[in-house]
Each structure stands twice: as structure tokens, then as C-alpha cells.
Amino acid sequence: MLKKIFKMEVEEELKNNLSLHERELPDAIKRHIALCSLPEAAENLLIRWEDSRIRRGDRWMKIDMLQFNTPKPSRCVYIAGHFFWIPIEGLDLYSEGRGRMIIRALKFLGVADEHGPEMDRSALVTVLSEALFLPSLTLMECIEWYPLDDTRVEASISDHGVEASGIFSFDDHGRFVRFHTEDRHCAEFNRELHPWSVDVLSYREHHGFIYPHECTATWHLPDGDLKYFHGSIDEVQFNMKQLGIRL
């Protein structure tokens, strides 16, 4: 069921036309895009994550994910895995100011359906954290850039009345290595605000460009850091015209 919704969401986004604007970006952003030979004006992005894990309580669950982003901005992620022997599906959505996370077991049993203002903001800041995955998003007027120094750039994003911000950090080679924000609500802790970060652990070549390979996501809680996601990007495609791939 959620797989069908993912397909419908992607096919609807594929109907939209991209309108980019010329703008000056901070040197650190331009350096990363040039260093990795990334397409600056891609209309969309498809990522296939494999051999990934997400923490649920004290246990790690193996998952595969299919993700579709556009610079609209929008984001749609289909998640599939097993918790013990039970098949689990998830759908992580952001579009037009609304975020939603749906989780189901055995395809039809509702486990979670998170939505509301906190989810809207959290989903939007997640979109922002992946701006350098889809460089055309960096050119959109919904994002403002504020260089802090040679290796850090702060960014704020505003979309349909929802606002969020965070800081991008780069290594000595100029590659993006971390995004940090304090604008994400933790659903597992009563939707409280806690610092959150994404780290890029490694890069590899994909069809002529350099792209993140291993990534982690971490909550920075009062009692200590909680790494809850470790993912590996297996395949990347820009400028999809139709969803002619296996799901």
C-alpha cells in the first residue's frame, strides 16, 4: 500500500517543471559542487539506499530505502524492512509545507502516523540537510545562505510558512561532511526539540561524479548522543523522466 503511495507521489512530482534562478552561492558551497562534479540544475534526484540500519529502541532494524527529492522543495522516501520476522513499511514525506511519517506492519496495521506543525518543521529541515545531495535546491529562493568561515555555512529555509535552519560543515578538501540543526523535533521523545546532525562518513564515484556513500544521523540528547541511522547509498540518478525502476 505505501509503495503505491510512493509511486503516486513521485509520478505527480515528475509532472512539475523546474524554475531556477541565477544567484551567488557561498564559496564553500560552490567548491563542494565543483569538486564533486555534481549537476547544478538537476530537476530531481532518486537515491537507492541499501544495507542500511535504523534504531528502534535498543535494537537495530535492517532497511532498504528509495528516496525522491525535488528542489520544489519536496521529499518522498519509501522504507522497507523487517522487525524480527514482521515486515515493516514506512513513508517519509514533505511537500508544500507539510511533513508526515507513516509506518505500517504487515502492510495494513498502523504503527505510527506522525504529522502536525512539529513534523512539518522537522521534515523541512531534513530537506535542507540534503540540499547538497541535489545542488539545484541550493539555487532556490526559499534558502538563504550565511557564510560563517572557510569551512562552515549557515542556511535557513522557508516554505509555505514553515521555517528551519542549520549549519553545513566541510572538510579540508572542500567536501560536505556534516549538517547540524536545532530545529528538529524528536518523535520518540514527545516531539521535544533536540540538536540533530547528519554526518557523511565516506564518498565514492557514481557515473562520473563524486557522491556521499555512508551517512549517519544522530540525536544529541541531554544524556548523550544517540546514533539512530546508518545508511549506504547504492545508486543515484538525476533528472528522472519517469519512475521506470524496480520498487
**Torsion region of 191: left, alpha or beta (phi above 0 gives left; psi -120 to 50 gives alpha):** left
SS3 21: coil
Select from 224, 205, 221, 222 the least CA-distant residue to 213: 205
Asked if residue 223 has pLDDT above 60, the reply is yes
**Residue 57's pLDDT is what?**
77
Where would I find the H helices in the chain? 2-13, 27-35, 117-129
pLDDT tens-digit profile of 173-194?
Answer: 999 999 999 999 987 777 889 9
Inter-CA distances, 179 with 58, 125, 128, 202, 240, Å:
25, 10, 9, 14, 26
Rounded Cα distance between 43 and 86, Å, is 37
Q: Which residues contact 246 (CB under 8 A, 6 or more apart)?
A: none
pLDDT tens-digit profile of 22-53?
Answer: 789 999 999 999 999 999 899 999 999 988 99
Task: Give the whole-number percent of the chain exceeding pLDDT 90.
Answer: 74
* Residue that the C-alpha cell 512539475 belongs to: 16
Top-confidence range, 3-7, 33-37, 189-193, 222-226? 33-37
Asked if residue 246 has pLDDT above 70, the reply is no
> In the predicted model, what is the mean pLDDT of the chain?
92
pLDDT tens-digit profile of 90-147?
Answer: 999 999 999 999 999 987 776 788 999 999 999 999 999 999 999 999 999 999 999 9
- Amino acid identity of residue 12, one-letter, is E
Rounded Cα distance between 136 and 43, Å, is 7
pLDDT tens-digit profile of 117-129?
Answer: 999 999 999 999 9
**Residue 125's pLDDT is what?**
98
Please classify residue 107 by burial: count the beta carbons closer than 10 Å to its beta carbon, then call 0-12 exposed, 13-18 middle and 19+ buried.
exposed
**Residue 59's pLDDT is what?**
86
Name the residue with higher pLDDT: 246 or 208.
208
Please classify residue 35 by burial: count the beta carbons closer than 10 Å to its beta carbon, then call 0-12 exposed, 13-18 middle and 19+ buried.
middle
- Over residues 153-168, the mean pLDDT reads 98
**Residue 247's pLDDT is what?**
52
Asked if residue 237 has pLDDT above 70, the reply is yes
Asked if residue 199 has pLDDT above 60, the reply is yes
Asked if residue 239 has pLDDT above 80, the reply is yes
